Amino acid sequence: DVKVTQSSRYLVKRTGEKVFLECVQDMDHENMFWYRQDPGLGLRLIYFSYDVKMKEKGDIPEGYSVSREKKERFSLILESASTNQTSMYLCASSLWDRERYGYTFGSGTRLTVV
Amino acid sequence: AQTVTQSQPEMSVQEAETVTLSCTYDTSESDYYLFWYKQPPSRQMILVIRQEAYKQQNATENRFSVNFQKAAKSFSLKISDSQLGDAAMYFCAYRSADGGTSYGKLTFGQGTILTVHP
């Protein structure tokens, strides 16, 4: 079965810490995405990548960066965590040429910044 | 930019009954894809159904069907014979067919929490 794996299900970090959220997919997908999910706001796109070492800003990139050194791995980085970054973070991947299909999602990381 | 709106934060249905979840979207594009995703308490997002905008026929997947009204920019999900396992958060999503610039980005609505009563 195809998989998108997020390294942590729950994470608690302190304000000001540098936080890494890891995502790995085993489907050889070109595209990878990071979303955050908040009640009443749905899922909002933070960053995405369509190839190794390539990245594009989504709708809410402020306070975040990303890294994609290998095709299967896409990392989200909170340079200096703040309480307003407490949220659920979802990683997803998709094939480049399968536009009419949706994503494969990870099961999310619930991050609490205290 | 495209927007997706789900105006029902919560819905409930009796087991075996039918429920309809609403979704509207705004776009200037003529070709696109629409999706409904289900997120149960396990958090794993599951694709329920998809619709290609160029197809007039409404998509159907077993007990799930959509009512796609392109002119009205409406995309509702109908769940027939509701089951306890249908209880979840449901998200409507839009994806441009222009792969060259969008890279397959999905735009999501706010979500609707569906409760199924036994």
pLDDT in tens, A75-88: 999 999 999 999 99
Residue A43, chain B, CB below 8 Å: the answer is yes
Q: What is the pLDDT of residue B99?
A: 60
Out of B99, B107, B110, name the one closest to residue A99 (CB): B99
3-class SS of residue A113: strand
Tens-digit pLDDT profile for residues A37-78 = 999 999 999 999 988 988 999 999 999 999 999 999 999 999
CA angle A105, A28, B53 (to 5 degrees): 60
**How far is A98 from A29, CA to CA, in rounded Å?**
10
Contact present, A77 and A66 (Cβ < 8 Å): yes
Per-residue pLDDT at A1: 65
What's the pLDDT tens digit per position in B45-74? 999 999 999 888 999 999 999 999 999 999
The tokens for A92 are 């997803």
Name residue A61's amino acid: P
CA distance B8 to chain A (A): 10
Are residues B21 and B77 in contact, defined by beta-carbon separation less than 8 angstroms?
A: yes
Q: What is the distance, to the nearest Å, from the Cα of residue A43 to the centroid of all Cα atoms in its chain?
A: 11
Query: Does any CB of chain A come closer than 8 Å to the CB of residue B5?
Result: no
Asked if A92's CB is within 8 angstroms of B45's CB, the reply is: yes
Better-scored residue on pLDDT, B12 or A3? B12
Judging contacts by C-beta atoms under 8 Å, the chain B residues touching residue A101 are: 47, 50
Distance of CA A50 to the CA centre of its chain: 13
Q: How many CB pairs under 8 A join A and B?
A: 63
Residue of A nearest to B110 (CA): A42
Q: Which of B104, B107, B111 sits opposite A99 (nearest CB)?
A: B104
**Is it the case that residue A96 has pLDDT exceeding 80?**
no
Q: Do B50 and A33 touch (CB under 8 A)?
A: no
pLDDT at A99 over 80: no
Instruction: Quickly tell me which residue has 């998809």 as its tokens.
Output: B50
Give the closest-approach CA distance of A66 to chain B in angstroms.
16
